[in-house]
């Protein structure tokens, strides 16, 4: 099982829909969380749309992350893109095979809340009650 975090703050509805179509094209049984609107963290710019997606895959972490990067690039994100600037599409591998890949991301409500719809990420991670109390910062 892989858990993917999706986000965009440049024409976000279009880019998230394109990502969802590409993911479903490769993984027809993909399951998506609801989409949330959140303020940018650590940068200025328009609000983000964020969601998570769960898929079954046999790919290892490197191959899966490379595939995610190819989807980002197809939506106009450059490989050298500054992580603190607005982006067309941001896809993060959050979990793979039951292992958390980047626990630091789970401390953010815009990641933790949609992820919690799809997997049990609360126990043993940075996604805890303090993070969930940030729910007022998110809107559907």
Domains of the chain by residue range: 2-137
Q: How far is Cα 138 from Cα 21, in angstroms, rounded to an integer?
A: 24
pLDDT tens for the chain, residues 1 to 140: 999 999 999 999 999 999 999 999 999 999 999 999 988 877 778 999 999 999 999 999 999 999 999 999 999 887 666 666 788 999 999 999 988 887 778 778 788 889 888 887 545 555 654 555 554 455 54
Radius of gyration of the chain, Cα coordinates, nearest whole angstrom: 14
What pLDDT, on the 0 to 100 scale, is given for residue 136?
46
- Regarding the domain with residue range 2-137, which homologous superfamily does it belong to in the CATH classification? 7,8-Dihydro-6-hydroxymethylpterin-pyrophosphokinase HPPK (3.30.70.560)
Element counts in the chain: helices (H) and strands (E): 4, 6
What pLDDT, on the 0 to 100 scale, is given for residue 80?
61
Taking residue 133's Cβ as centre, other Cβ atoms within 10 Å add up to 10
Strands 48-55, 31-32: pairing kind: antiparallel
pTM of the model: 0.85
CA 71 to chain centroid: 13
């Amino acid at each position: 099982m892989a858990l993917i975090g999706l986000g965009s703050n440049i024409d976000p509805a279009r880019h998230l829909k394109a990502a969802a179509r590409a993911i479903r094209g490769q993984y027809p049984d993909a399951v998506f969380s609801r989409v949330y609107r959140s303020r940018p963290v650590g940068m200025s710019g328009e609000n983000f749309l964020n969601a998570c997606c769960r898929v079954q895959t046999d790919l290892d972490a490197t191959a899966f992350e490379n595939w995610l990067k190819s989807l980002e690039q197809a939506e106009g994100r450059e490989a050298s893109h500054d992580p603190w600037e607005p982006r067309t599409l941001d896809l993060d591998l959050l979990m793979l095979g039951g292992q958390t890949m980047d626990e630091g991301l789970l401390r953010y409500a815009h990641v933790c809340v949609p992820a919690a719809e799809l997997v049990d990420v609360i126990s043993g991670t940075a996604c805890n009650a303090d993070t969930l109390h940030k729910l007022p910062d998110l809107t559907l």
